[in-house]
Amino acid sequence: MYPEVRGKLTESRMLSDLTWLRVGGPADALFQPADLEDLQGFLAALDPAVAVFPMGVGSNLIVRDGGIRAVVIRMGRGFNQIGIDAEAGRVTAGVAALDAHVARKAAAQGLDLTFLRTIPGAIGGAVRMNAGCYGSYVADHFVSAKAVTRAGALVTLTADDLKFQYRQSDLPEGWVITEATLKAEKADPEALEARMTDQLAKRDASQPTKERSAGSTFRNPAGFSSTGKADDTHDLKAWKVIDDAGLRGYSIGGAQMSEMHSNFMINTGVATAHDLESLGESVRKRVFQNAGIALQWEIKRVGEFEGDPIPDGLADLKSTDVQKTGA
């Protein structure tokens, strides 16, 4: 059924061990391409009717218990290179390069991509989600990206192609980003290293970094990330409206909104994807009832339910009511 590959192709592959939340059923197949040519050849030869789903390191993902009816493509060592042109202020990173590694290597060469240091995941997901913190986003640094189309062609993408918005971008179905080039300001390497050390300390003091989580669960209703500055406001931050609804520590099954940071959903050890998504939808409903704010998921949820689907927490509300809240 599947084309010959030089990488690794595994049918009926469970995905729970590939996500940070450690939940999820099987993919029809998991493909780990050896290199760019292997990926292109596979997609070109694969039946166009077969769906594909590019997956990063699973840091911002809930795979539902029923699994994914698609070929999941997960990039590895053939796509984790980091190239730095310090003179031009450019960093080119493979899709599988971890955000933290890109930030550190850039800093060592005197280039400031420090905003990436505390963002979980890899560059592919960072581009796809327009990741950001401390007032900086991928879109602010983006130069171009390369991607393989569903038909196997290699293309170059510009910012206009991706249409970056808060926590999202546009990419045609089945296309796979392979690398991205970012621009960065020049700065003193020691100063950049000191800034990242401070950022890590602040993160570890405020976020459940030792728990099974997927980073922020919901987008900030304000429409921007925390800046980390003294004048940062919190009224329309997701954690604040969750707190105001009395949901810090709220749990369903093995899923819990963290006591440490109420916009972090954690797997306490026995959660299913059903527990996690049910908890999220319950939080959305109760926040709306409390504040009239329709929280939007930041964690991506994919695949099929095992049993009855989980209803949208706002499904029983009038669409006009939701629209008024900026949903």
Catalytic positions, please? 167, 216, 298
| Strands 132-133 and 111-112, sheet pairing | unpaired
CA-CA distance, 58 to 45, in Å (whole number)?
26
User: For residue 236, what are its two tokens?
Assistant: 């329309």
CA-CA distance, 197 to 203, in Å (whole number)?
10
CA distances from 137 to 134, 180, 242, 245 (A): 9, 14, 24, 29
Identity (one letter) of the amino acid at 247? L
Closest CA to 237 of 282, 295, 312, 289: 295
CA atoms within a 13 Å half-sphere pointing along the CA-CB vector of 54: 25
CA atoms within a 13 Å half-sphere pointing along the CA-CB vector of 275: 20
Paired with 257 in beta bridges are 265
